[in-house]
């Protein structure tokens, strides 16, 4: 484990991004790039659980911690990716405290949860260090619940107070959509929802997270007290890099065409 949970508990800012291509190669590239953590996305990403395993293996030798966003709070989804070696779970669309408690139950072994016990899994070194993993898991596995519905805004204090919920992570696209102000991240309603989320988390001694789309917004969110900060994804890195290079090459081609035309001798 790479101490992401302890770093957040100490109040450190940790920088991350999304992995949504389902590729072990882009996972390794991003893992070596200097991020503190990455989010392997099973909710909207291209890959499935089989691809999660390959991505976790690719990230193993990098300094980057691996969190997996599961599709729902169903315990079987949570158990499976934890057994594969994920260092934390993010669960979308939390609406009530009961949803958050269900997530936490899936994160931890009895008596603190209902996670199924299997020794011969990747997370425990295929049985070599199960006891150590069992003893340390409550202190190392990160529980992240997403704040992206209007209903959950009425239960922020209750959700934040749940033992095992470590991060309230704002989903800006879904939350702004539900508020009827899609994409208006500077709207007073959205900013107020951010402040309420941060306040609830801080009162409970928990962290807040957000995904944002412009690196220039980093200081804004950091100054609000948000410490789990994500920007970009492997898909956007590839798409942006490809578009920029293609645009540059097109410009060079057009400039050469003009130069070739101007250098032609005049017709006799």
Establish if 261 belongs to a structural domain.
no
Q: Block means of pLDDT (10 residues each) for the chain, length 268 residues? A: 93 98 98 98 94 97 97 91 97 96 96 94 96 96 98 98 98 97 97 98 98 97 98 97 97 83 62
Diameter of the chain measured on Cα atoms: 94
Burial, 246: exposed, middle or buried (Cβ in 10 Å; 0-12, 13-18, 19+)? exposed
Residue 250 falls inside a structural domain: no
Catalytic residue among 44, 79, 129, 187: 44
Q: Is residue 14 part of a domain?
A: yes
Q: Is 70 within the bounds of a domain?
A: yes
- Does any domain span residue 252? no
Q: What is the domain-level CATH number for residue 60?
A: 3.20.20.60
What integer pLDDT is reported at residue 169 of this predicted model? 98
Flag whether 255 is in a domain: no
Q: Is there a domain that residue 76 lies in?
A: yes
Residue 244 counted as domain residue: no
Number of Cβ within 10 Å of residue 13's Cβ equals 15
Q: What is the pTM of this model?
A: 0.93
Q: State which residues form the domain around 63.
A: 4-233
> Could you confirm whether 44 is annotated as catalytic?
yes
Structural domains counted in the chain: 1
Strand partners, 212: 231
């Amino acid at each position: 484990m790479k101490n992401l949970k302890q770093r957040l508990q100490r109040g450190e800012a940790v920088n991350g991004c999304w992995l949504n291509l389902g590729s072990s190669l882009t996972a390794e590239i991003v893992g070596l790039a200097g991020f503190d953590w990455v989010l392997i996305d099973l909710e909207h990403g291209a890959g499935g659980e089989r691809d999660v395993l390959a991505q976790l293996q690719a990230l193993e030798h990098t300094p980057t911690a691996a969190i997996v966003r599961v599709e729902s709070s169903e315990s079987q989804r949570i158990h499976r990716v934890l057994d594969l070696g994920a260092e934390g779970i993010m669960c979308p669309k939390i609406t009530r405290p009961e949803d958050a408690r269900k997530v936490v139950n899936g994160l931890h072994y009895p008596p603190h949860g209902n996670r199924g016990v299997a020794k011969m899994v990747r997370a425990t070194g295929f049985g070599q260090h199960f006891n150590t993993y069992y003893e340390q898991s409550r202190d190392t596995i990160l529980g992240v619940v997403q704040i992206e519905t209007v209903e959950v805004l009425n239960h922020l204090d209750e959700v934040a107070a749940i033992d095992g919920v470590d991060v309230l992570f704002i989903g800006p696209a879904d939350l702004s959509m539900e508020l009827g102000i899609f994409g208006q991240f500077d709207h007073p309603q959205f900013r107020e929802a951010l402040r309420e989320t941060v306040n609830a988390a801080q009162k409970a001694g928990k962290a807040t997270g957000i995904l944002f789309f412009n690196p220039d917004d980093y200081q804004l969110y950091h100054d609000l007290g948000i410490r789990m900060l994500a920007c970009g994804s492997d898909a956007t890195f590839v798409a942006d890099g490809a578009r920029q290079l293609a645009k540059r090459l097109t410009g060079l081609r057009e400039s050469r065409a003009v130069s070739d035309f101007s250098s032609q001798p005049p017709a006799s």
